[in-house]
Amino acid sequence: MNLERRADSAFSIEDLRMMAMRRLPRLVFDFFDGGAEDEVTLRANRAAFEQTRIAPRILVDVATVETRTNILGVPAALPIVVGPTGGVDLGRRGGDVCIAKAAADSGIPYTLSTRSSASIEEIADAAPGRHWFQAYILQNQAFLAKMIDRARAADYEALVITVDLAVGGKRERDLRNGFSAPFRPTRAGLLDLVSHPRWSIDMLIRGTPPAGNLHGLDGDAAPRSTLASAAGRDYDPSFDWARLAALRDVWPRKLVVKGVLRPDDAERLSSLGCDAVVVSNHGGRQLDTSMATFDALPAVAAAAGKMEVMLDGGVRRGVDILKARALGANAVLLGRATLYGAIAAGAPGARRALDILEDELRRAMQLCGAPDFARIDASVLADSSRLQRARAGLSVGMRMNNFAAV
Ligand SMILES: Cc1cc2nc3c(=O)[nH]c(=O)nc-3n(C[C@H](O)[C@H](O)[C@H](O)COP(=O)(O)O)c2cc1C
């Protein structure tokens, strides 16, 4: 089946996920699909959306629907940004470019990960569109500064600083599967590799995909480190508010901070002059049992001042985007949704993921009597207890701030 036809045979993000699962050896799929420790947060991100109900309005003219919105002050066709994901090319060679092209075709921004295979410059050339660069704070500060300069030279619109990865999360699927650097598959893992010959032979012949932005970064692999902990080894756990302020001073364009869950942190980021925050727990891959992003959203939105607020984590349905808007996000970021699409069916698969979410979002807006995305508010939600809890959380956040000032 060609890629277009395969993509068209998916009707939901879950369909794309299943296709991705069939295509990959289990240990590789688990790297993309899994979360940290008991995966409580991974499940909580989904559960928070699923447990929130809508109270649809009737007899509203929904013949036309407006999904356009401003993202970082610039109009976008949809309230969606493709978020940064590293290691994509392990799932499909050329996967970063596939996803970047799909984002450009859909008229939305694309975020390139520090740990992508395609480099900053390759993405700028291959997929003209709105590009953001996600920077992990490397211990090698000179190298980090050079990467940021490259993003500026290649006209990236925004720098996204991920702040929830001071160290790598403990991802037990990877540990059990021996998905580590150096690669040490278990006996079952070896059988799994043999039963996926296309993937395995490609890796044997062409080698594992390069880290396009990290050529020249020093560092020996620690024994039995998973990709997560190997990544964590390069990062600088001493990065703090003062260093973020210094980054704000040297990066003149839009600055987005990703990995914010607390209103007091949001307030402080606003006073530092950041342009946007992403309410994120890294898709449940870092600190397990940290709160669901949808639960964190309203308090962060209330404390964000002039900053734009986005959310990621568990977005798998168009109606999730509507709910995120209702609690104060002006856009969502996608992690696994476009990733599954690209793994399942390349660029058409990534595009299919975006088309599915757009179709579902439009339909949800029509069915709940909310034709203009920008004007959706909490009144579309039936379940106001979540909002009330979040408001209570906000006042706790404020009290903590007062305490800190004493
Ligand atoms: C395989 C994978 C790799 C990721 N790599 C990065 C990364 O390099 N930088 C980053 O800031 N976040 C990374 N993330 C987190 C995503 O940007 C995003 O926060 C998360 O996936 C959102 O949750 P979702 O996958 O449920 O949509 C990664 C997530 C996954 C699943």
Q: How far apart are CA 240 and CA 228, in angstroms?
A: 21
pLDDT at 233: 63
Q: How far apart are CA 283 and CA 46, in angstroms?
A: 10
Instruction: Pinpoint the alpha helices (H) of 273-367.
Output: 293-303, 318-326, 336-367
pLDDT at 231 over 60: no
Q: Give the residue-averaged pLDDT of 358-375.
A: 98
Q: Which residue has the tokens 């940004």?
A: 81
pTM of the predicted model, to two decimals? 0.93
Q: Does the beta carbon of 335 sit less than 6 angstroms from any atom of ligand 1?
A: yes
CATH 3.30.300.30 fits 3-172+229-405, yes or no: no
pLDDT at 224 over 50: no
How close is the Cα of 35 to the center of ligand 1, in Å?
Answer: 10
Let me know: does 137 contact 161? Beta carbons within 8 Å. yes
Say whether 282 is catalytic. yes
Q: Which residues pair with 159 in a beta bridge?
A: 133, 255
Q: How far apart are CA 209 and CA 355, in angstroms?
A: 28
Model confidence band, residue 394 (pLDDT cutoffs 50, 70, 90): low
Model confidence band, residue 295 (pLDDT cutoffs 50, 70, 90): very high
Q: Which of 360, 353, 385, 367 is nearest to 101 (CA)?
A: 353
Looking at ligand 1, which atom is closest to the CA of residue 160? 11
Q: How far is CA 197 from CA 182, 201, 304, in A?
A: 21, 6, 50
- Among protein residues, the one with the nearest Cα to ligand 1's atom 21 is 335
- DSSP label of 235: B
